[in-house]
Amino acid sequence: MTGTALFVAVFLACLVEAVEALTIVLAAGTSREWRSALLGVGAGLLVLAATVAALGPAVSALPLSGLRLFVGGLLLVFGLQWLRKAILRASGNKALHDEELIFQTQLDAARTVAVDRRPLVGDWYAFTLSFKGVVLEGLEVVFIALTFGSNQHDIPRAAAAAGAAVVLVVLLGLVIRKPLSRVPENSMKFVVGIMLTAFGAFWGAEGAGARWPGGDGALLVLVPAIALFALALVVAFRRRGAWTSGSASVTTAGVSA
């Protein structure tokens, strides 16, 4: 079960982050210059690869109980962040994530900035916009893939899940050539938040010395229980008409998760 859950959690998390990065890169390439935007993507991927190369062995070298306590705790904090935002969005208390609106805002912002040429880079703005988009969105994926992969002693599976999601998004981006607004990002983030929270709670408590009833089987109860609790919170905090997708929060440096 945990192997499949590992793949699903990393794949979904990577998919939503890749969709967000794609929107930013598309905006940089379309409104400015494709070569500089793609150079920014390449530089961003290099930074992410270096992060994985540096942190991967360090995380894997930790003893299992220490690893589970440290990584489980981080995952739980991270998962609660995702779940908190997902519940706020689903209950109407925070703007829904809207790729079309984000794309348009990025386009408008990019068109107002003058061209700044640097060595090897024809348009510095397009380069930095793509670079930041890839690094900021990619760091979350790196974190999730490393924590899940190291805890399960299966970093290759986590890497495969992340790679599959990136390839899928890049292929769809090449075919559609516009933001992937039909991807149900808000629902997917809700699911990822539940998975991160459940696994974080499970590993964190286990790393601290707790023994779950039923061992790994406890996750079969934990995941649906947290899902039901999150849905109950959506109902409890539901607010009508406070936000629409047209009020999504956007900045030129990136988009809030």
Partner 1 sequence: MIIRRLKAFAAFWYDFIVGDDWRVAAGVVAALTLTYLLAHRVSTAVWWVVLVALVVLLPVSIWRAVRSSR
Choose which of 182, 237, 244, 246 interacts with partner 1 (CB under 8 A). Answer: 237
Of the candidates 104, 87, 54, the residue with the CA atom closest to the CA atom of residue 226: 87
d(C-alpha 231, C-alpha 226), whole Å: 9
Which member of 63, 119, 156, 213 binds partner 1 (CB under 8 A)?
213
Rounded to 5 degrees, what are φ and ψ at 56? -55, -60
User: Binding residue for partner 1 (CB under 8 A) from 13, 15, 145, 201?
Assistant: 201
In the complex, the smallest distance separating the C-beta of residue 6 from partner 1, rounded to whole angstroms, is 20
**Closer CB to partner 1, 156 or 209, in the complex:** 209
- For position 14 contacting partner 1 by CB under 8 A, the verdict is no
The nearer residue to partner 1, 92 or 122, going by C-beta atoms, is 92
**Piece in contact with partner 1 (CB under 8 A), picked from 44-52, 55-63, 161-169, 210-218:** 210-218
209 part of the interface to partner 1, by CB under 8 A: yes
Cα–Cα distance, 246 to 104 (Å, whole number): 11
Name the one range near partner 1 by CB under 8 A: 72-80, 114-122, 151-159, 178-186: 72-80
**C-beta separation of 139 from 18 below 8 A:** no
218 counts as binding partner 1 under rule CB under 8 A: yes
Instruction: Report the residue from 83, 145, 158, 166 that binds partner 1 according to the rule CB under 8 A.
Output: 83
User: In sequence order, which ranges of the chain are alpha helices (DSSP H)?
Assistant: 2-31, 34-60, 64-90, 99-111, 124-151, 155-176, 185-207, 218-236
Distance CA 11, CA 146 (A): 13
Backbone φ and ψ of 16, nearest 5°? -65, -40
245 binds partner 1 (CB under 8 A): no
Cβ–Cβ under 8 Å, residues 205 and 212: yes
SS3 235: helix
Place of tokens 């190291």: 150
Q: Which has the closest alpha carbon to 106: 166, 49, 19, 24? A: 24
Give the shortest CB-208-to-partner 1 separation in angstroms.
4
Q: Among 38, 40, 147, 109, which residue's Cα sits nearest to residue 253?
A: 109
Shortest CB 205 distance to partner 1, Å: 4
Question: What mask of x and - would describe binding to partner 1 in positions 31 to 70, judged by CB under 8 A?
Answer: --------------------------------------x-
Shortest distance (Å) from residue 84 CB to partner 1:
6
Three-state SS for 108? helix
Binding site for partner 1 (CB under 8 A): 69, 72-74, 76-78, 80-81, 83-85, 87-88, 91, 93-94, 139-140, 197, 201, 204-205, 207-213, 218, 226, 229-230, 233, 236-237, 239, 242
